[in-house]
Amino acid sequence: MKPTTQAAPRYFALIPAAGVGARMAADGPKQYIDIGGKPMLRHTIDAFLSSALISHTYVVVSAHDGQIDAVVPPGAVTVLRCGGASRLASVQNALRALAGELGEFDWVLVHDAARPGLNAALIAKLIDAVGNDAVGGLLALPVVDTVKRASMAAGANVPAATSSVARDGLWLAQTPQMFRYRLLCDALAAATDASVITDDASAIEAMGFAPRLVEGHPRNLKVTLPADIRIAEMYLAAP
C-alpha cells in the first residue's frame, strides 16, 4: 500500500492592529506607543518572527493607518489594510482577504497587537498543546482573585457587590487564539454582535465547540490602560 503522506501543518499569525486605544487615552493608537525603545506592535511582530513554527505573519491595520510602514520589517510581514470598526470586524475582514493564500486546514493564530509580551516559548506551548486538536484553543490564565458581580445604585458614586462568582473553572482569555482557517472563517461569518463576540474563541463556542485552554503567562497581558505600560516594560526588559 502506498504510504500516505500528509503535508506538514502550517501556522500563520494574524495580528489585529486596527484599534484606536481609547482606554489608553494616548495621543495616538496605543499599538504604536514606544515600549523599551520600539513600538508596541513591533514587539508583537518580533515575537512571531522569532518563532520557527510560524510560516508567515499578517498584520491588519485601518485603511488610513499612516504609521505601520515605519514599524514592519521589510518583506517579513504582510500588511492588510482592511481593519474594521471592531476587533471582530478586523479579523473577519482579514480572513476574507486571505482566502486565496491560506488553506482550509492551515492554523491561524490570532494575536492582539496589544499583547507585546508574547514570546516564542508561549507560541510553542500553545501549538504543542492544541496543534493536533480537532478544534483548537487559546492561551489563558486561571482566575486567582475573587470575582464580584456589581451594580451601581442610584445616587451612589461607586458600585456595590451584589454577589461573588465562584472562581473554579474561570479563566481569563489571552491570545493567540488558534483555529484552523476554515473553522475560524465559518465561526466568525456567523458572528454579528461584536459586543458579545469579543474574542475569536467566543465564535467557536457559539458553534458548540470547546476551545482548549492552555495556561499562558502574566507577561502576555493586554496593554489596555496607562498603568499597563510599566508592567509591559518590566516584562519586555527581561525576555
Ligand X SMILES: Nc1ccn([C@@H]2O[C@H](COP(=O)(O)OP(=O)(O)OP(=O)(O)O)[C@@H](O)[C@H]2O)c(=O)n1
Q: Which residues of this protein are in contact with ligand X, per CB under 6 A?
A: 16-24, 30-31, 60, 83-87, 90, 112-114, 222, 224
User: Can you say whether the dihedral through the CA atoms of 63, 65, 69, 74 is positive or negative?
Assistant: negative
* Amino acid sitting at position 85: A
Q: By CB under 6 A, tell whether 62 contacts ligand LQXTBERG.
A: no
Strands 107-110 and 171-180: antiparallel
Taking CB under 6 A as the rule, does residue 112 contact ligand LQXTBERG?
yes
Angstrom distance (rounded) from CA 42 to CA 65 = 15
Three-state DSSP class for 105? coil
Binders in 208-227 for ligand LQXTBERG, by CB under 6 A:
222
Q: How far is the CB of 228 from ligand X (least distance, A)?
A: 10
Q: Interface with ligand LQXTBERG includes 87 (CB under 6 A)?
A: yes
d(CA 74, CA 114): 21
Which does residue 199 bind out of ligand LQXTBERG, ligand X, none, counting CB within 5 to 8 angstroms by kind? Answer: ligand LQXTBERG
Of 222, 165, 154, the residue nearest 15 (C-alpha): 222
175 binds ligand LQXTBERG per the rule CB under 6 A: yes
Residues near ligand LQXTBERG (CB under 6 A): 87, 112, 173, 175, 198-199, 222
